[in-house]
């Protein structure tokens, strides 16, 4: 993580959840507090879920053990709707004031030569399919059971990672995370990720170290964080 971003987080006060949320004991303690202070809610019906194949108890157990649960496959029509939205809505890039469409990118560059490693699609929550995923009862149940309390907020992102010949340093400068790191969104959190295009082992897909969510408090973490290698 760049030093300037660390300083920015310190000034805004967001450095505390960003750092503390990496530690398992902090997340567990936060879950206990939220579970005690949250109002009980009646269980939602799972009839209208996009993921009827999921057994919630198995998914939660996998999350607790591996930090990962497979099997949440989106129906083809939902994937198609999200992809069409992403292809036809303006995008933006970090530190670039102008907006552009994904179709404008060729080999990681716009027509004027501007490099693009990540293209953030504007207003993803205006896509009905994404709103449906956010409100899916199976996802909410699994997240709630894993966290220990019903989540009260959701932040959706939709972005393209265009194929290109950009080097590693160029990608890092453009805020594309390509190194192993520890994510921390808040004092407690979970991510739900979907690919909207086909990918395989050679596509640069996300890689994880199973079970690493339990080891972020190791001594190596402190040095990695301040050196910028943990993002």
The three-point CA angle 49-120-85 to 5° equals: 50
| Residue-level pLDDT at 155 | 92
Closest CA to 9 of 185, 138, 176: 185
| Residue-level pLDDT at 224 | 47
| Residue-level pLDDT at 9 | 55
CA distance to 18, 148, 169, 183, per residue, from 23 (Å): 10, 16, 29, 11
Tens of pLDDT, residues 207-230: 888 887 776 655 444 444 444 443
| Residue-level pLDDT at 153 | 87
| Residue-level pLDDT at 187 | 76
Q: In angstroms, rounded to a whole number, what is the distance separating the alpha carbons of residues 211 and 208?
A: 9
Chain centroid to Cα 67, Å, comes to 13
121-146 b/e (C-beta count within 10 Å ≥ 16 → b): beebeebebbeebeebbbbbbbbbbb
Q: 211 near 61, Cβ under 8 Å?
A: no
| Residue-level pLDDT at 13 | 56
| Residue-level pLDDT at 226 | 44
| Residue-level pLDDT at 213 | 79
Mean pLDDT by 10 residues, the chain (231 residues): 54 66 77 77 83 97 93 97 98 91 97 95 97 96 92 92 94 87 78 91 82 64 45 35
| Residue-level pLDDT at 207 | 83
| Residue-level pLDDT at 227 | 44
């Amino acid at each position: 993580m760049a030093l300037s971003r660390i300083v920015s987080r310190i000034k805004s006060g967001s450095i505390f959840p960003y750092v503390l949320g990496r530690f398992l004991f902090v997340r567990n303690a936060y879950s206990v507090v939220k579970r005690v202070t949250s109002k009980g809610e009646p269980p939602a019906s799972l009839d209208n879920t996009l993921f009827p194949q999921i057994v919630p108890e198995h998914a939660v157990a996998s999350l607790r053990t591996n930090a990962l649960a497979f099997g949440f496959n989106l129906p083809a029509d939902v994937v198609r709707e999200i992809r069409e939205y992403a292809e036809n809505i303006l995008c933006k890039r970090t530190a670039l004031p102008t907006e552009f469409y994904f179709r404008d990118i060729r080999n990681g560059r716009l027509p004027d030569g501007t490099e693009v490693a990540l293209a953030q699609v504007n207003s993803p929550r205006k896509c009905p399919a994404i709103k449906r995923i956010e409100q899916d009862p199976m996802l909410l149940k699994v997240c709630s059971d894993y966290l220990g309390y019903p989540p009260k907020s959701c932040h959706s992102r939709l972005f393209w990672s265009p194929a290109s010949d950009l080097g590693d340093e160029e990608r890092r400068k453009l805020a594309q995370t390509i190194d192993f790191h520890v994510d921390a969104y808040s004092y407690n959190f979970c991510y739900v990720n979907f690919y909207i295009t086909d990918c395989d082992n050679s596509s640069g897909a996300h890689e994880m170290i199973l079970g690493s969510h339990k080891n972020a408090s190791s001594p190596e973490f402190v040095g990695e964080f301040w050196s910028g290698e943990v993002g």
